[in-house]
Amino acid sequence: MHGPSSSTAASPSNRRGRSSASNDRSKGRSDPSRSRGRHRERRRRRRTGPARPQRGRPRPRRTRPRLPGRTGVRRGDHRLRRRGPHRRVQRALPRPGRPDRRPLVPRGGARAGSAPEGARRGSAAPPRRSLHLPGRRASERRGPWDRLRRRTRPRRHPRTAPPPRLGPRRGRRPDGGRGAASSRRGREKATVTWLALGFSAALLVIGAVLRAAGASLVRTPRADAVRDAAEGDARAEVVARLLERRSRIQLALSPVLTMLVVLAVIPATWAFTRLLSGPTLFLVLVATTLLLVVVADLLPRTIGRSRPRTIAYRFARLLDGAITLGDAVNDLVAELDEELDADEPQEAETGERELISSVLDFTDTLVREVMVPRTDMVTLPASAPIDEGLRTVLESGKSRIPLTGDGPDDIVGVLYARDLLRVVEDGDRPTSCGDLARKPFFVPETKRVSELLRDMQENQVHMAIVVDEFGGTAGLVTIEDIIEEIVGEIADEYDREEPMIVPLGDGSYLIDARLDVDALAELTGTELPAEEWDTVGGLVLALAGRVPRQGERFEYDGLVFTAERVQGRRIAKVRVDRKGPS
């Protein structure tokens, strides 16, 4: 079967193959691939030197057997390739090439008869591989970033509608693939997290401003606010109105500040739990808590106390709104408390409320509001003999008596009744009371009562001498005076205290001149000014402009003030009547 007949039969085709191959070789002399091969061989010879002569008989060159019927060219030849022994021309691609030099083949492949007119049997076939496709001009080609954006851009609609089938439980995946979906979710997560942190920071800033403004407001003198309001300052008018209820400012601001802190902590904690985990999250939460205490409480309060009028005026309207909101919350809580405790006795409820109100006002009370004025102090000269000191202690009933030097403003020591009785019992008497004097404890009249109580506990003293801004003696204050500010008057069996208010009928009252002006305003239902004084005696002195004579009358806002008793330069009793119709 494989004799001469078979070789002879195949000779025509072989001759045609050899003739085509010879034509190819003749045409390949100017082929660029051959020239590139020659240049490559020259470069190799320059690097390695001339080829060494082979010893003996040269080895024959191995050639790859050519398959029968396959008439192609060598690798790198860009001429036409034909498929199979039937020499059928390949069909041309129906569409132009893309910029990436890949053919655009429709679904299902190229249709029959789509070859151009020139691509017939025996004619040159169009290129088949992607390297043979002509690309577009370089100016029209898209860059790598454009291709990347087009590849990651989500599709508006699928190419073909999917057939009806069971879908995944999690729903259809978003366009753009897994990478695009994860990156989109990451961006959305980061955006929401930073928005939560920004919201928390904004609330903390508002709370810090309110804290500083509240501390500044309670430190602002109402007399200054009234004076500025009279000059036309609208903000000072708001501050003066808020200071009419000075004791209620902190009580009204407390629920508002609490709500701001809670609303700021919740989103911040949620954001930190999304960003962090493990020990890092714990450390960040601890550091945030410490920062919250410093930034939202301690630092604003210190700044507010250092600049009272400036900060109070600047944030007057913000404080007004916050205090109004806090009052509404407190009223709502009070109503709920009343409904829950409706069965309890009214007397006990009233007493508890007064006690709570006193405790809240205690933190804002100044020393000058509870001190015994200098005109009511019982003093002794430091040079007084022991017998005179003993007699003064027995007559006044005081256990501690200040000792003066050159004048009433020169307090040199404090005489204790216990030290005086001890030397009397021993019999070894010193020459004067100044030999038994102990060192006095001085405090300014603008100091807060709560701070003074802590200082007296630390220094183990029961009485302090109050000095004014000029260094003179303004009065004295004892621990008993401070406790009475919380629980009310404490009277013992030796006290002969007269009532502060004595009703006289027909709307008239006999009032102690030491009564607070706010108490008189609440009693009479009128609004009384309190500029540079806190007592009714100071009000009468301001209306008179001098020390009034006993029985002298003054009128103000429908009230008639009569100086009933005047002791030296001090007013002791004042009669208050309502002005009748004229």
Instruction: Kindly state the average pLDDT of the residues 514-539.
Output: 75
SS3 369: helix
Give helix 177-219 / helix 249-275 axis angle, nearest 10°.
Answer: 160
Q: Is the pLDDT of residue 118 over 50?
A: no
Q: Which fold has domain 501-578?
A: 3.30.465
Residues near 32 by Cβ (< 8 Å), separated by ≥ 6? Answer: none
- Between these two residues, 473 and 364, which has the higher pLDDT value? 473
Which sequence spans correspond to the domains of the chain?
A: 185-340, 367-487, 501-578
Select, from the ranges 99-113, 183-197, 525-539, 553-567, the one with the highest average predicted confidence (pLDDT): 553-567
User: Of 545, 512, 543, 547, whose CA–CA distance to 529 is shortest?
Assistant: 543
Q: In this structure, are residues 204 and 300 in contact, taking their beta carbons and an 8 Å threshold?
A: no
- Between these two residues, 310 and 34, which has the higher pLDDT value? 310
Strands (E), 20-63: none
Residues near 468 by Cβ (< 8 Å), separated by ≥ 6? Answer: 444, 445, 474
Q: In this structure, are residues 576 and 559 in contact, taking their beta carbons and an 8 Å threshold?
A: yes
End-to-end CA distance of the chain: 155
The pLDDT of residue 57 is 53
Q: Which of 314-318, 435-439, 492-496 has the lowest mean pLDDT?
A: 492-496
Strand-pair category, 508-512 with 570-578: antiparallel
The pLDDT of residue 529 is 64
Q: What percent of the chain has pLDDT over 90?
A: 5
The pLDDT of residue 534 is 72
CA 135 remoteness from chain centre:
60
Instruction: Kindly state the average pLDDT of the residues 373-401.
Output: 87
SS3 578: strand
Instruction: Kindly state the average pLDDT of the residues 461-484.
Output: 88
The verdict on pTM exceeding 0.75 is no
Q: Is the pLDDT of residue 25 over 50?
A: no
Instruction: Kindly state the average pLDDT of the residues 465-484.
Output: 87
The pLDDT of residue 402 is 92
Q: Is the pLDDT of residue 129 over 50?
A: no
pLDDT tens for each residue of 232-281 = 888 888 888 888 877 778 888 888 999 998 999 999 988 888 888 888 88
Q: How confident is the model at residue 12 (pLDDT cuts 50, 70, 90)?
A: very low
SS3 264: helix
Q: Is the pLDDT of residue 346 over 60?
A: no
Determine which helix (DSSP H) or strand (DSSP E) holds 555, and give its type and residue range. strand 553-556
Residues near 303 by Cβ (< 8 Å), separated by ≥ 6? Answer: 212, 215, 311
Give helix 449-459 / helix 479-487 axis angle, nearest 10°.
Answer: 140
Q: How many CB atoms lie within 10 A of CB 520?
A: 22
Instruction: Transcribe 442-464 into DSSP letters.
Output: EEETTSBHHHHHHHHHHHT-SEE
φ, ψ dihedrals at 299, nearest 5°: -65, -45
Instruction: Kindly state the average pLDDT of the residues 458-485.
Output: 88
φ, ψ dihedrals at 211, nearest 5°: -65, -45
> Which architecture, in CATH terms, is 367-487?
Roll (3.10)
User: Of 466, 495, 464, 497, whose CA–CA distance to 479 is shortest?
Assistant: 464
Q: In the structure encoding, which two tokens stand for residue 233, read together?
A: 């300052």
Q: Rounded to whole angstroms, what are the CA distances from 150 to 101, 136, 175, 474, 545? A: 17, 18, 12, 85, 89
Q: Round to whole Å and give the CA distance between 318 and 239.
A: 11
Q: Is the pLDDT of residue 560 over 80?
A: yes
Average pLDDT, the chain: 73
Q: Round to whole Å and give the CA distance between 330 and 247.
A: 14
The pLDDT of residue 464 is 92
Q: Round to whole Å and give the CA distance between 209 and 25.
A: 93
Q: In the structure encoding, which two tokens stand for residue 458, read together?
A: 């630390």
Q: Round to whole Å and give the CA distance between 75 and 131.
A: 13
The pLDDT of residue 443 is 92
b/e map 306-326, b = 16+ CB within 10 Å: eebbebbbbbbeebeebbeeb
The pLDDT of residue 74 is 47
- Between these two residues, 205 and 550, which has the higher pLDDT value? 205
User: Of 117, 37, 39, 131, whose CA–CA distance to 81 is shortest?
Assistant: 131
Dmax (CA) of the chain: 165
Long-range contacts of 521-525 (CB under 8 A, 24+ apart): 524/559, 524/576, 524/578
The pLDDT of residue 75 is 45
Query: Residue 289 gets which letter from DSSP?
Result: H
Q: Rounded to whole angstroms, what are the CA distances from 181 to 147, 152, 174? A: 19, 10, 6
- Between these two residues, 128 and 472, which has the higher pLDDT value? 472
Q: Is the pLDDT of residue 219 over 60?
A: yes
Instruction: Kindly state the average pLDDT of the residues 193-205.
Output: 89
Angle at 523 between CA 352 and CA 324, to 5 degrees: 65
The pLDDT of residue 119 is 45
Q: Is the pLDDT of residue 70 over 50?
A: no
Q: In this structure, are residues 190 and 275 in contact, taking their beta carbons and an 8 Å threshold?
A: no
Instruction: Transcribe 395-445 into DSSP letters.
Output: HH--SEEEEESSSTT-EEEEEEHHHHHHHHHHS---SSGGGG-B---EEET
Place of tokens 């410490």: 290
The pLDDT of residue 403 is 92
- Between these two residues, 355 and 96, which has the higher pLDDT value? 355
Select, from the ranges 127-131, 240-244, 534-538, the one with the highest average predicted confidence (pLDDT): 240-244
Q: In this structure, are residues 420 and 386 in contact, taking their beta carbons and an 8 Å threshold?
A: yes
- Between these two residues, 402 and 579, which has the higher pLDDT value? 402
Q: In the structure encoding, which two tokens stand for residue 357, read together?
A: 């109100």
Q: In the structure encoding, which two tokens stand for residue 396, read together?
A: 């006044």
Q: How confident is the model at residue 348 (pLDDT cuts 50, 70, 90)?
A: very low
- Between these two residues, 361 and 66, which has the higher pLDDT value? 361
pLDDT tens for each residue of 391-447 = 888 888 888 999 998 888 889 999 998 888 888 777 677 888 888 889 999 999 888
